[in-house]
Structures are given as C-alpha cells and as structure tokens.
Structure 1
C-alpha cells in the first residue's frame, strides 16, 4: 500500500492530513475493537495491521467486520506480516505479548504506543533499552482525565506531605488479571515521588489480622474486582479533622482509545525515546 499525499487534486498537500498507518494488537478483544473503531473514525489515521494470538477464532477475519465494514486488513498472528505496513503499533495486551511485539517493532522500525500493564522491573528495563532505537509512548492509563488527575495528585501530595494518611482504592471488572491496576500504581509512584519516597519501600498492598497502628509514611492500596466496572480510582488524603478525596471514574474505554490516538500523533515527531502521557499532553 502507498500513503496518499493529497485528498483531492484541488487540495494542496499542506492542507491534507498526514496519515499515520496504525496496527492494533489484540484486535479481537474489547479494547482492540474500540481502538479499531477509533482509528477508522480518525481522518489522520489508517488501519494498517491487526494482530491476535495464534488459535484465535478471529484469525483471517477482516479487522473491521464487527463494525459491519470491510477494511481490507485481515487479523493475523504472524507479527512481521501484521506490522509490515505499519508506522506505529497500539498495544493494550499482556506483558509477554507486548515484549514479543516490541522486539519485532524494533527490528522493523515501527513505533509503539503501549497501554499494557503488569510489567516486571526487568521488562521495564528492556523496554527502556528498546526505546533507544524506536519511539515508545508507554502509560498505564491514556485517559486525558486520568493524567490530569495524576498532576493534581502531585500538587496535593506536596501540599499535604505531613499529617495526612494516603490510601489508594481502585475498582475494575472481573476479567482484569493484574492488581493493583497499573493506574493505581502510577498514582502511588507520582505521590511517592512528590514526597521524596520510593514506592517500593512505602507501599502496603494488603492488611489482615492484627496490623498495629498505621505507619504514617506508608501509601496503602485496596483492590476491588467485580462486574463490568471499566475503572474507578480514588486517592484518599485523611488528616485529623478533614479528608480530601481525588477521584476519577471511567464509564467507557473510548477515553483510552482517544488518548492512544493523541499518543500516535505525538510520536510522529519522534525518532526514538521513551515517553508517557505527560509528554503527550504537555503536563511536565
């Protein structure tokens, strides 16, 4: 396939949108469907590849069939086939799959927008190494609202650095496989950084039995799983005489898909490097 340079003979090349050729990982899943629909509706993006695991019933089907349209892009399991025409991959799958995808992206020079969560420290280090060769935007949550919330949490933590106990409560659907959520962990990291702490040293991920009094230097996490909850996050700053709650609640995955497309556009100006949504949204 070739990339068009104008939308019509009467429109100058300077006014025509610059098309970004996008591949989607996990194309037959709920988030994959949302991303495919978002790409299809974006005037500056074109679906160029669709990936799924070998053995999936979706292999060979048209990627947009669920929308009642024919995109001409089949869902494939072979990574090189699925990425050969793409400029950027959007991946909201699982750590093992994402790492395999990134290895091929590095080989082919394909950029990556990563929304996968649950990476180990070793995998994060490997992603940083891969980012020396290709541009990667990685964030546990691509919602614009969530990232504005992270900025607010940084401000709140600095202002309430003493005298307040900090607890993070998150809720997700019954199918989520990692806990706490990547967004909850990111919230904890932002708060810990603002306080000059390392989350690894101050996080408490569960309480049971006789725990003793709360250590004021800790950041607590509570996890809820049930039903079809898209994603709720609340950070509680509990002081003596007052309580501040900063919350974000998602009712649709559309926000994640639109955030991913903003990341795709941001990466168009990058050759390599590891970025996050603060970079995309100019929140540094």
Structure 2
C-alpha cells in the first residue's frame, strides 16, 4: 500500500468477476476496502472507499447507486442485463456523481466497438449486420451486454435506433431478415470467457471484426483502469471510450 493507493469497494466481490477484480486491485497496488455480496447493502460501508465497482445484479442497482450518492464517491457499473428503467436510474445518478457504465470493461472490446461504429458509418445499407457472441454455460443474459454494446455502436454508426431494428434469436419457418436489421445470435457452452464478432455481409464479400477473451482478468484490469480514471472527474455519465480517449 502506498500513499496513492485507491480504496476500492466491490459489489458482488465473491462472484467470478468480483474475485478477478480483487486480484487486479492488488496487482495494481490498490486496496480492497469493502466487499459486498448478494443481499448486502454497501451504504453503511461506502464512505470508507474512494470508488465503488458494481458487478452484481440489475435488481441491486438502485441500492448501489444510492450508496454511491450518499457517500459522494464515483461508481463503475459493469452489471449487464439492464433495461430502460435501469438506464434512467444511471442517467439521474450521473447528475450527482461521476459514473461510468459499460457492458464490457475490456479495452480491446471497446476499441472493437469504436471500429465497428466507423465501419457501419462508412458502408451503405446493402451490407447486412450480424452480431455473434459466445459465453460460458452459466451466463444468464442473452444477448450479452457486450453484444448489445456492439449493436448500439453499429446502429449509431448507421444512424438508426437499435430497438426498432434488431432481430434476436431467429426461429421458425418465417425468419427471413428484415431489410436493414441488426441480427443477434447467442451461443452458450463450456467455459468461454467471451467471444464476439460483428459481421458485415455484403454482395460477394464479408468483413468480420472479432474479439476473443481468453481470461476474465482482461475485464478486471479494465475495470480497475476505469475506476482509476474516474476518480476526480466531475459528475457525469462516462464510458470506456472516455478512458481510452476515443
């Protein structure tokens, strides 16, 4: 521990990601000050921390945001499976504190999103877009938060709304893709940490942009880097693009 060590609070610290983040915190020379798990409330302990990192569950989001607001500290939200109501909570909380929300803390994945946005912006609508992802057998949400993040990147590049133009898990005899749709396919099995591909399929040619996570430590290191960057920032809603300077 040094004078510059950051005191972290991890929400969900006994989960796979929580354990990986705890290790990354130690490797970076910081301190795991507080660990909170399912059903726990970080509120009474948050004031002991310099930053909170939340990789828990959508149902705990309001409690975790309230804890950060009361303590007056930044929070990194890496929880996936969020819906419109959760994003509204995040937007409101960001008016009071520095908040970074992302579906994936990997620096490589966020660079992939940036590149995919540029490609979608450049190509016309004769190119179909499909997003393929694979995760371990125990992952509960599909498509993954990362797949949705990639979908948002390409839909913004194309200038369309993702919600109105996405096709998820096609099935049945009438499953022809709609013109201009962004398709999602989710695979689950084994211990895959996370593989994602964005496929731009044109006439007689394809562009495939891919990222493979070999170990969840890449997400943990990214989460620590995001937290380091977020400390001292003004209240607002930030993303990994800000961390990367994109």
Counterpart in the other structure of 1:147: 110
How far apart are residue 186 of structure 1 and its match?
A: 0.8
Q: 1:98 to 1:212 in 2, by over 3 A?
A: closer
Q: What's the CA shift for 1:120?
A: 1.2
| Other structure's SS at 2:211 match | strand
Match of 2:54 in 1: 91
Structure-2 change in CA distance of 1:78 and 1:158 (3 Å): closer
Give the structure, 1 or 2, with the largest relative contact order (CA under 8 Å, sep 6 or more).
2
1:199 and 2:162 correspond: yes
Residue in structure 2 matched with residue 268 of structure 1 by the alignment? 231
Q: Which residue among 229, 249, 253 is the counterpart of 2:212?
A: 249
Shift in CA distance, 212/180, structure 1 to aligned 2, threshold 3 Å = closer
Cα deviation, 1:139-162, whole Å, max 9, x if unaligned, reads 100101001101110111122223
1:208 CA drift (Å): 1.8
How far apart are the structure 2 equivalents of 1:217 and 1:261?
A: 37
Question: Matched residue of 2:80: which SS?
Answer: coil
For 1:259, the equivalent position in structure 2 comes to: 222
2:76 equivalent among 113, 117, 123: 113
Query: Aligned match of 2:124 in 161, 169, 180?
Result: 161
Q: Structure 2 length as normaliser, TM-score?
A: 0.95
5+ residue gaps, structure 1, are 8-16, 55-76
Return the alpha-carbon distance in structure 2 between the equivalents of residues 213 and 130 of structure 1.
41
Could you tell me whether the CA contact under 8 Å between 2:43 and 2:70 is conserved in 1? Answer: no
Residue matched to 1:35: 21
The answer as to 2:34 corresponding to 1:49 is yes
Alignment match, 1:18? 4
Match of 1:169, SS?
strand
Q: What is aligned with 2:178?
A: 215
Following superposition, the deviation at residue 212 of structure 1 comes to 5.7
Number of corresponding residues: 246
- Rg (Cα) greater in structure: 1
Identify the range of structure 1 (154-163 vs 171-180) with the bigger mean alpha-carbon deviation: 154-163
CA RMSD of aligned residues (A): 1.5
Q: Is the 8 A contact 1:171 1:232 kept in 2?
A: yes
**C-alpha displacement of 1:25:** 1.1
Which residue pairs with 1:61 in the alignment?
none
Greater CA drift, 178-187 or 211-220? 211-220
Unaligned ranges ≥5, structure 2: none
C-alpha displacement at 1:78, in angstroms? Answer: 4.2
2 CA distance for matches of 1:90 and 1:178? Answer: 20
For the 8 Å contact 2:41–2:63, the answer to whether it is kept is no
